[in-house]
Amino acid sequence: MLKTDLHTKDEIKAAAAPDGITRFLWWLAAADGDVLAECKTEKERYRIIGLSVMVTWLFATLAWGYFFSTIIKDDMIVLPLALFFGFAILSIDRTLIAAMSRGNGNLRLMPVAFRLLLAVTIGLFISQPVVLMLFKKDIIAQLELSKQTKLEAYRKQLTTMNAGQRTELQQALDRGRQRVEQQTRELKFYKDTYIRETDGTGGSGRIGESSVARVKKSAYLKSEDELAALQQDWAPKEQQLQAQLAAMHSADSLRETIYLSTLTDGFLAQVEALHELTEQHPALQQRYRLIVFIITLIEIMPLLSKVLMPKGEYEERIAGAAAQNMAAARLETAAGKELLQHYQEAALAADKEIVDEVFENTRQLRREEAAAIVKDWQHRENRQYRQLWRQMKNLLLGKIS
């Protein structure tokens, strides 16, 4: 009958023992599983705190993962970084919860306020990547518009910067072309005049090479020679001016390409695009603030649950165990000090006894050596009492090295 009762009790204890998931949640809640297992009314409470910590941990890992995905394109690097920084946020949350202490049944306001402020700061930072992920499509569309706007502004800036030099080159090119066109028109005029003189429709009314026709032919040929000389002189200058304009255009195109490569889709660019969206759409701004508030609330939820839940059996057991351990430590320290003092006193008494015995056993020997030292000192020419006293002190007390 006794064996059956014991067997039944063991089965009840085994059934009441927490499973692995429960112990993991207790660990997340920074609770002592062995102490908490003995508290009947506190188990579910700390499971809830552990679940809230796990939610913030998953949120932090997700936020960090998206944050690093905007910077690094390699998933094999993003995943370890997200897990590491998510675990760092988890460690901070567990530290904040574990550091929550009560004195005389009341919370100490300053430490709690500091921890709440730290939790809110972390929540605000974590909320930013999550918001960017939620509004990703709108942000990508806004990024393209922002890139185009920035590129147009940069082009205007380049145009303004090179306007003086470009205007000078274009004016020189236009003046040269105008001279060529003017000379071409003059040549056409002289040529038409000469032709009209030769076909009888000119001013003289004669057909053929008359004296007037020969004069106009001479003017026509002279104008043709001048046009050829002008074209020959202008051609290399025109090529040089066009080359300079083309070089300026190529340089501007290269600057635009380099500037466009700096307009990435990174984290800061997405934050700027989200800011532009919230300014353009007031409704989006309200929802953005609401989402940030909710995510921040999720981050501080473990700390709030620890603050708002009343003090229970677990805290009493932990406080009692801490008080007992502190009292035991104080007693052990006092006993150690007393034992050390007793040891020093006993050691001093033993040393005194040994010294007295040594001096007693060597008394006759020291007298003989002292007499020998005095006798030797008397036979010296330069006798000094100081030297005699030094020798006697070394004999009686031993030489200190």
Task: Give residue-wise pLDDT tens across range 184-200.
Answer: 888 788 777 777 777 66
Work out the mean pLDDT of the chain and round it to a whole number.
78
Label residue 205 by pLDDT band (50, 70, 90): low
Task: Give residue-wise pLDDT tens across range 233-282.
Answer: 888 888 888 888 888 888 888 888 888 887 777 777 888 888 888 888 78
Point out the least confidently predicted range of 2-11, 17-26, 58-67, 126-135.
2-11
CA–CA distance, 386 with 393 (Å, rounded to integer): 11
Paired residues of 102 in beta bridges: 107
CA angle, 204 then 209 then 211, to 5°:
60
Sequence spans of domains, the chain: 2-134+282-311, 154-268, 362-401
Q: What is the pLDDT of residue 105?
A: 45
pLDDT > 70 fraction of the chain, expressed in percent and rounded:
83
CA–CA distance, 253 with 246 (Å, rounded to integer): 10
Point out the least confidently predicted range of 64-68, 90-94, 151-155, 280-284.
280-284
Q: Hey, what amino acid is at 101? A: S
Report which of residues 70 and 171 the model is more confident about.
171
Q: What is the pLDDT of residue 343?
A: 87
Specify the residue for token string 């009492």: 385
CA–CA distance, 385 with 391 (Å, rounded to integer): 10
Q: What is the pLDDT of residue 12?
A: 46
| Residue 85 · residue 98 · CB < 8 Å | no
Q: What is the pLDDT of residue 84?
A: 92
CA–CA distance, 160 with 52 (Å, rounded to integer): 58
Point out the least confidently predicted range of 201-210, 261-270, 292-301.
201-210
